[in-house]
Structure 1
Amino acid sequence: MTNEEKQYLSDVAQLGCIACRINNRPGTPAEVHHQRKGAGAGRRASHFDTMPLCPGHHRHEGDAIHRSPKIFEELYGLESELVRQTREDVKAYRKTFVGNP
């Protein structure tokens, strides 16, 4: 993993869970979820194709992406849209908190 990838993943986690933010509960600690669609069988997506999810929305709750992907998608949107939003959020985070574009 490159330093750029490490920094990006760290920034993604700093954003807090994207599903919780959609539910108006910002600031929930997050771990990084790699986009599954389009990655191929047994292959992980790029470290830049990620989104922040709390453990509940990642794998524990009834609407967690790994437990109920269809329900997750119905409630929060497509993985690809959330990954795209995460990239924009990381850019804004870096401008605000880091001073880097």
Structure 2
Amino acid sequence: MDTPVIEEVLQEWLQEHRDWSRQDKRIRKRFRFKTFPESIQFVNQVAEIAEEHNHHPFIQIDFRVVTLELTSWHARGITVLDLQLADKYDALVED
């Protein structure tokens, strides 16, 4: 699934996912949590999904804020899989 996403599709997706932004050839979002352990629990859930798909995001942990950045090295940019995984990561905090 290293298919590069079509620009129009990416723009539409970003309109529907306002918390995500485009940073050059990556999509990025900051997730905020009430406690540090909650942020670590989220990172562990992200890691499980990433392992299942063999597609790993950049993860930055700043106390109660977790920043995810998704891109594909093979496609040299944002792919359909990046968008699909972003949706999965969003679903982790929507419950």
Scaled to the shorter chain, the TM-score interval is 0.3 to 0.5
Whose strand proportion is higher, 1 or 2? 2
TM-score (norm 1): 0.33
Which structure carries more relative contact order (alpha carbon 8 Å, separation 6+)? 2
